[in-house]
Amino acid sequence: MSVTPGYRLVSLTPDRASEMLAVNTWAFTGDMRPEDLEAYASEIPFSRTRAFEIEDPSHGDVGTLAGVAASYTYRMRVPGASLVPVAGLTWVGVHPGHRRRGLLRAMMGDHLADARARGEVASALYAAETGIYQRFGYGLAARQVDVRAPRGASLRPVAGSDALRVRIEDASLERHGGAIATIQRRLDRPGTPTLDHEEALRARFADPLAHRRGSERMRVALVEEAGGEPVAYAFFRREGRWDDDGNPGGTVHTWSFGAAGPAAAHRLWSVLLDLDLMGTVKAGPLALDDPLLWLLEDPRSARARVRDNIWLRIVDVPAALTAREYLCPVDAVIQVTDPLFHDNAGPWRITSRDGEGHVEAAPGEEPDLVIGVQELSAAYLGGVSLAALAGAGLIEERTPGAVHALAAAFESTSAPVCNLFF
């Protein structure tokens, strides 16, 4: 890992939360309200927080932080529903006075090496700007739909929905953390992270005033079976609004939700789409094939936007490829190019007869396909077809038919999405 002259890389402890948040406030703009410090600090995964301190006085006050990065410890669903260890990179920021000196590049080298050392197969992130991370091998692995639906939008019926009960309460880590972690574990969509790690779970419940922007504190809708088993949840806030004639037309905002099964999804959306005094429900991220999009009786009534969801970077090619299932039999050799980790390069023989993947080094064998780690990472969760990437000229086919065969095997039966922003 290259170290940028004049700075030293350190791990941060919780007593440096305000220093870290100061760098992020510079990087992301805005002012940190003193009363928000505790809430923001509770979101930081200090077991994996790194920073660059100024070492050379010509750069500023020695010991001051110039750049920061942190990651959550997740396990993520992959096609076939296995869970794989993944780092969730976040809080990346470099003070504007220290930008373009290689701090991010050095922090990325540190982060990816750390993920490998921890046995994680990939790193995932949400990109503030999509141009930043592709140079480090991140591919666009999932896209999301955000919808804006009118209050009262009717849903097609689903058996069992009415039997489920719903609690609507102030969001609380103590009261709802366990249930939400349980629901996350029950979701089998590729891209879903679990909330097994205490830091990852705690971060979901931070509610700084700055996040409210005129709306209320964070609430939760929790759907349970009659016996109390949690099956769906949504974090939400309402923003009240009245027009000049006194008519209510507020907005429900929901940014993180999950439902284990069709009845749970139906019950959850029935509640969120029918809150008093509201006119609109803004919901996302939805997968491109989310049940809500099929349940709406008038799908055109919900305005939908598609955008990038998570970006993924495989750090351990054989472990990653072994962990996912393959939808049809395959036997092919791929040559991976990876400028950062040469041992990812292969060639690798992928075989699968029964859905289960077997991946082994195939030294000296001629590859059927040559693929960069960015494209392999993009295709990993089944959100983009290898054929589409080849159609864009991003993959080189050496054996005629190899793209078609591998594209079919890499498909996923459901579109990936990460339902938690981090």
Ligand X SMILES: CC(C)(COP(=O)(O)OP(=O)(O)OC[C@H]1O[C@@H](n2cnc3c(N)ncnc32)[C@H](O)[C@@H]1OP(=O)(O)O)[C@@H](O)C(=O)NCCC(=O)NCCS
Residues lying near ligand X in the complex (CB under 6 A) are found at 27-28, 67, 92-94, 99-105, 127-129, 131-132, 135
Closer by beta carbon to ligand X, 235 or else 422? 422
Closer by beta carbon to ligand X, 124 or else 220? 124
Closer by beta carbon to ligand X, 310 or else 403? 310
CA distances from 35 to 204, 205, 209 (A): 18, 16, 8
CA distances from 67 to 31, 104, 191, 383 (A): 17, 8, 28, 32
The set of residues, in sequence order, having a beta carbon less than 8 Å from that of 300 and lying 6+ positions away, is none
Q: Are 269 and 292 in contact (CB under 8 A)?
A: yes
**Least distance CB 126 / ligand X (angstroms):** 7
- Written as six digits, the tokens of 402 are 């190899």
**Least distance CB 43 / ligand X (angstroms):** 14
- Written as six digits, the tokens of 168 are 């609507």
Closer by beta carbon to ligand X, 135 or else 303? 135
**Least distance CB 90 / ligand X (angstroms):** 7
Closer by beta carbon to ligand X, 285 or else 347? 285
First to last CA, the chain: 25
Torsional class of 168: left (φ above 0), alpha (ψ -120 to 50), beta (otherwise)? beta
**Least distance CB 284 / ligand X (angstroms):** 18
How far is it, in rounded angstroms, from Cα 253 to Cα 242? 17
Closer by beta carbon to ligand X, 127 or else 345? 127
**Least distance CB 27 / ligand X (angstroms):** 4
Q: Which residues pair with 396 in a beta bridge?
A: 370
How far is it, in rounded angstroms, from Cα 55 to Cα 143? 41
Tally of CB atoms within 10 A around 260: 20
How far is it, in rounded angstroms, from Cα 201 to Cα 141? 23
- Written as six digits, the tokens of 232 are 């769906």
The set of residues, in sequence order, having a beta carbon less than 8 Å from that of 122 and lying 6+ positions away, is 76, 84, 86, 87, 115, 312, 313, 314, 315, 316, 320, 377, 380
**Least distance CB 151 / ligand X (angstroms):** 34
Closer by beta carbon to ligand X, 80 or else 193? 193
**Least distance CB 101 / ligand X (angstroms):** 6
Closer by beta carbon to ligand X, 101 or else 219? 101
**Least distance CB 252 / ligand X (angstroms):** 27
